[in-house]
Amino acid sequence: MATTGVMRPGHIQLRVLDIDESVEFYKNMLGLVETGRDAQGRVYFKAWDERDHNSVILRQADRAGMDLMGFKVKDRATLEQFDKDLQAYGVATERIPAGELLETGERVRFTTPTGHVMELYADKTDVGNGQPYTNPDPWIPAAEHGIAPHRFDHCLLYGPNIEENLKLFTEVLGFHLVERILMEDGEALLATFISCSHKAHDLAFVCHPEPGRLHHLSFLLGSWEQVLRAADIMSMNKVSIDIGPTRHGVTRGTTIYAFDPSGNRFETFCGGYETYPDHQPLTWTFDEVGTGIFYHDRKLNDRFLGVVT
């Protein structure tokens, strides 16, 4: 599929309880590259293999969770069109001026039916991945510092109205449904996994009464061996591990989940499969939801399902 329209998740702004402790964690345990700090005290990071200036932004606050998530769109004309399309669909939008986030162009902000603040933007400074654009090597020393994921990959978010939310993302923003989990009645949606690209998911939502919750943000690794290495680094540093290493039934990814020092869950994962918009969605029934979520345990996990920020 040609990647047009919304191209990929581009940034996430997280609330943390102690900025210094969190910077240390994201920089040296997770192994992101710090790229800047702004006048508000926000700290900017990117994964080593990402080219744009920032993908993870930390803000000190009195509660944990996600402030917002941003998606990069193909160009400014696309950004203008999405703003019109969102408004025509009945979604209020707001313009955030260029530079409000470091090295990032103007953003179009809106709130999803699940209560999450989302942004679209067309411009973010290309700072490269540490390699030249001519005759590059395959990796750099930063690729071995800490867990060192390749990129910020996707989020799983919890909130209400996920049917309405699915319509917004598929009918206005050009995502396609890749997998879904059904409720006990066999009709209502418990969870949706949607893609704007070839990836098995760029976003996922789970039905939940409280709006705007973060279940996890996810970082891509290159191999199952690196998932195991990530688990080792987490234990070396006494990181709060949630579950894993294991495999998902949904998307087939291999994974380990853990929590940052403020209790925001993150995933470091590898694999999954590639999707196209003509692929029919995969469906998981409620009685197999345990298998869908954790393919080896094959049962529901209260903490994984119930703990969010």
Q: Cite the beta strand spans of 104-262 per DSSP E.
A: 107-111, 117-121, 151-159, 176-182, 189-195, 203-207, 213-220, 241-247, 254-259
Q: What is the torsion angle, in degrees rounded to the nearest 10, for the CA atoms of residue 103, residue 109, residue 115 and residue 116?
A: -20
* Ranges within 222-241 binding another protein (CB under 8 A): 233, 236-240
Which candidate, 51, 155, 59, places its Cα nearest to that of 112?
155
Nearer to another protein, 110 or 259 (CB): 259
Q: Which residues of 151-182 are buried (b: 16+ CB within 10 A; e: fewer)?
A: bbbbbbbbbbbbeebbebbbebbbbbbbbbbb
- Work out which of 1, 3, 21, 76 binds another protein, going by CB under 8 A: 21
Distance separating alpha carbons of residues 210 and 206, to the nearest angstrom: 11
* Number of residues counted as binding another protein (CB under 8 A): 35
Give me 9's structure tokens. 């998740």
Q: How far is the CB of 262 from another protein (least distance, A)?
A: 5
Residue range at the interface with another protein (CB under 8 A); choices 118-126, 139-147, 170-178, 243-251: 139-147
Residue range at the interface with another protein (CB under 8 A); choices 126-134, 158-166, 183-191, 260-268: 260-268
Nearer to another protein, 57 or 239 (CB): 239
145 binds another protein (CB under 8 A): yes
| Catalytic site positions | 154, 201, 216, 248, 257, 267
* Ranges within 50-69 binding another protein (CB under 8 A): 62-65
209 binds another protein (CB under 8 A): no
- Work out which of 24, 94, 184, 287 binds another protein, going by CB under 8 A: 24
Q: How far is the CB of 54 from another protein (least distance, A)?
A: 21
18 binds another protein (CB under 8 A): yes
Nearer to another protein, 13 or 251 (CB): 13
* Residue 3 amino acid letter: T
25 binds another protein (CB under 8 A): yes
100 binds another protein (CB under 8 A): no
Q: How far is the CB of 148 from another protein (least distance, A)?
A: 10
Per-residue string for binding with another protein, 267-306, x by CB under 8 A? Answer: -----------------------------------xx--x
Distance separating alpha carbons of residues 48 and 50, to the nearest angstrom: 6
CB 23 within 8 A of CB 58: yes
Distance separating alpha carbons of residues 141 and 53, to the nearest angstrom: 18
CB 55 within 8 A of CB 38: no
Q: What string of DSSP letters covers 43-108? A: EEEE-TT--BS-SEEEEE-SS-EEEEEEEEES-HHHHHHHHHHHHHHT---EEE-TTSSTTB--EE
> Which residue ranges make up the site for another protein (CB under 8 A)?
17-18, 20-21, 24-25, 28-29, 62-65, 144-146, 233, 236-240, 242, 259-265, 302-303, 306-309
